[in-house]
Chain A
Amino acid sequence: MIILHLLPDAFIAWFINIILIAGAVTTVAGFFVKFIPFVNTYRIPVQIAGILLLTVGVYFQGGYSTELAWRERVREVEVKLAAAEKKSQETNVEVITKFVKKTKVIHDQGQDIINYIDREVVKNQEVVRFVENCPIPEVIIATHNAAALNQPIKEKK
């Protein structure tokens, strides 16, 4: 059926119709026309040729109809896929936009807190006293680092 893809539709339809008409005419002539001398002389071969042509024509017509039905189905699927692709692209844009906005809010809020620490927390008297008098023990730093890296704590002995 790949050959049908290579030929123009009009040519295929024209070719099949010619075969069908020729088959029908030859069959009718072979069976019913007796006044034409040539047909009357070669009655059997004309009948065989007519039936053969008609059979081939009907076969081609069936194949071509099926081919057209498949092409229509392919067109429908292509339209459906194109719509899905468009919708998919729109969804991509929608999801990414939402994600970028959300990430920006999260980042800004984190930055705001760090700015607040730099601006306000460092001036807090209680914090200043704590920083001056209470260094953070190494074990706390080691524990924090281990948690951040999700690794076991290396104990110093």
Chain B
Amino acid sequence: MRYLVISLILCLSGCAAVPVTASFPAAPAILMERCPELKTIAKDQVSIVDFVKTVTENYTAYYECSAKNLAWQDWYTQQKKIWDETK
């Protein structure tokens, strides 16, 4: 029985897997941040100047978020190319 167990263990030892694993890289934290909410006007009465300022801030927020989205696409495309080259 003891020899049978030893033989089985030896046989099973032939099933060792190749010890190389790779995983797709994690995205940079800065690209994982969510885009900010757009600003609203809190007061009932507001001057046209403040109104335009809020609109400008929102446009800026949009362009920042758009840049982040483009950076995401750029990051993914390049990382996928590198990943595919390893196969």
Name A's B-contacting residues (CB within 8 A): 1-3, 5, 70, 73-74, 77-78, 80-81, 84-85, 87-88, 91-92, 95-96, 98-100, 102-103, 106-107, 109-111, 113-114, 117-118, 121-122, 127, 130-131, 134-136, 138, 140-141, 144-145, 148-149
Contacts and interface: CB of A to CB of B under 8 A. Distances in A.
The 6 closest A-B pairs by CB, nearest first: A110-B60, A99-B71, A148-B38, A145-B40, A2-B16, A2-B13
Interface of B: 10, 13-14, 16, 18-20, 22, 25, 28, 30-31, 37-41, 43-49, 51-60, 63-64, 67-68, 71, 74-75, 78-79, 82-83, 85-86
Contacts, number: 121
B82 A91 contact: yes
Interface on chain B toward A: helix, strand, loop, or mixed SS?
Answer: helix
16 contacts: A77-B20, A84-B86, A91-B79, A95-B31, A99-B30, A99-B67, A103-B64, A111-B60, A113-B60, A127-B48, A131-B48, A135-B45, A135-B47, A136-B47, A141-B43, A148-B38
Contact of A81 (B28, B38, B86): B86
B64 A134 contact: no
Given A114-B57, A118-B53, A149-B40, 11 more contacts: A2-B16, A3-B13, A84-B85, A91-B82, A95-B28, A95-B75, A95-B78, A96-B28, A99-B67, A102-B71, A131-B48
